[in-house]
Amino acid sequence: MLFLVAALLVMGVALGAVAHVPVPVSLAAGLAIAAWLALFAARERLSGRRHGRADHGRGGL
């Protein structure tokens, strides 16, 4: 629950900052964050295959 409150607080601060910058700057920052997250996801997916990580019995679908 505390994590959720902190996440909402951070999101509110980020949205407040975006409201004060021009639209092109906001779009550029959004694209940079999306690219960073895509690269991170790709690296995690590839490293999981390369090292043979399993589900560790977490009971996923």
pTM higher than the cut 0.85: no
Pair of tokens at residue 17: 């900052």
Residue 1: per-residue pLDDT: 86
Higher pLDDT, 34 or 55: 34
In Å, how far from its chain's centre is CA 61? 23
Q: Kindly report, residue by residue over 14-39, the tens digit of the pLDDT.
A: 888 888 889 999 899 899 999 999 99
Domain boundaries defined on the chain: 22-51
Is the CB of residue 7 less than 8 Å from the CB of residue 15? no
Q: Kindly report, residue by residue over 40-50, the tens digit of the pLDDT.
A: 999 999 987 66
